[in-house]
Structure 1
Amino acid sequence: MLSSTSNIKRALRTELRERRRNLTATERDGATEAFTANLIALTTSKSARRVACYLSAQNEPNTRPFLNWAAANGVETLFPISREDGLLDWAHGDGSTEITGLFGMPEAVGEPLGPIAINDVDLIIVPAAAVDETGMRMGWGRGYFDKTLGSMQKCPPVYAVIYDDELLDAVPREVHDQPVDGVVTPTRILTF
């Protein structure tokens, strides 16, 4: 049986998915350009030479132009690969060669480096459904990034990529949920 917090999260995720689906092509294109500029600015400001970043799915903020910039500018990128045991492996990739992984999400093609490969990155960029003003992240419900972030002894800065209207006053929280250090939206980079 799901807890009341789980039910609230599920309803909020449904609403947020619908909002993303209703964005026009023009709104998506404008947001992609702005996300890219802000992700580049964040990476540059952190002097990050090794970044962990997700490959965006269809209705997520588009990370691909940023990943193309990273590849062209010598920023090494690790991509998450979902495992059936609930952990993430990591792989090098070019940001454009991909397969459909577990749950129908895009994943990089590459030799898995193991879950601890992320320990050597300078910056982690994660997807999110929403983030609140304290930095609490609500993901899409599988817990992969929460497990990864919660298991790291020395975690580099973690930024979630969300649309402006997904920065909320508060998000429902469960014991396993992990906060982020900041968010990247089309209009700003916010550090908590």
Structure 2
Amino acid sequence: MSEDEAAIEEAKRVLRRRLRTERAELGAARAAERSPALTEHLVALVRERGARTISAYLSLPDEPDTRGLIRWADAEGLRVLLPIIRTDGLLDWAEHDGTETIEASLGIPEPTGEALPPTALDDVDLMLVPATAIGRDGSRIGGGRGFFDRTIAAMAECPPVYAIVHDEELLDSVPHAAYDQPVDGVVTESGVLTFHPRS
């Protein structure tokens, strides 16, 4: 890693630590209060894209809530794929069936259905990914382990990718390196912002 890359990684760690602390301090109550508005905007995005298969994730209590969208998608008969962490740093996927468990090493909620390989994303019309912060140029700071960066980078044809954050986590800019994968847009409780849609 070059000196410049090391400096970027340190800047990301500092920002990630600050924002995680703020999320923890404000807690699950804030996410719950914002959930109806966020779900409304997520539903609007899915409808606008005409997506019938989406990838999402099971949010933690202090994260922006994805479960309202998943419940709506189930009721509408949409197919929802959720990530399962692999030991090699990539992600498998499983269809949402209403069941979940807690991944042992990271404490992240995961589906319990049959694991599908990373190529399951080839059928996805829209990807919804977690983030700690998003810059208005589409740059993304994730959780620090690179699961979604590697997933997006490995796809031959990637569908539109939208990150989900709280309003105050959408920043003018965030530190990022060449290997960090940008997103096409962001969804917060205030609305949907598209940066540079994929063709």
- Match of 2:100, as an amino acid? E
The reply to whether residue 69 of structure 1 matches residue 72 of structure 2 is yes
| RMSD (CA atoms) | 1.4
Deviation larger for 137-146 or 51-60: 51-60
Give distance in 2, aligned partners of 1:28 and 1:77.
Answer: 22
Give distance in 2, aligned partners of 1:162 and 1:97.
Answer: 24
2:192 is aligned to 189
- Give the drift of 1:23: 2.1
2:33 is aligned to 30
The reply to whether residue 109 of structure 1 matches residue 115 of structure 2 is no
Give distance in 1, aligned partners of 2:20 and 2:166.
Answer: 12
Q: TM-score, normalised by structure 1?
A: 0.95
1:99 is aligned to 101
- Give the drift of 1:25: 5.4
Matches within 5 A, 1:42-191: 42-94=45-97, 96-101=98-103, 102-191=105-194
Q: Is residue 149–residue 181 contact of structure 2 (8 Å, CA) maintained in 1?
A: yes
Deviations along 1:15-46, one digit per CA (max 9) or x if unpaired, are: 11111122265532221111111110100110
Name structure 2 gaps, 5 residues minimum: none
Q: Is residue 27–residue 62 contact of structure 2 (8 Å, CA) maintained in 1?
A: no
Give distance in 1, aligned partners of 2:63 and 2:28.
Answer: 13
Q: Is residue 28–residue 63 contact of structure 2 (8 Å, CA) maintained in 1?
A: no
Percent sequence identity is 49
- Match of 1:27, as an amino acid? R
- Give the drift of 1:73: 0.5
**Number of equivalent positions:** 191
Give distance in 1, aligned partners of 2:124 and 2:68.
Answer: 20
- Match of 1:136, as an amino acid? S
Q: Is residue 31–residue 62 contact of structure 2 (8 Å, CA) maintained in 1?
A: no
Name structure 1 gaps, 5 residues minimum: none
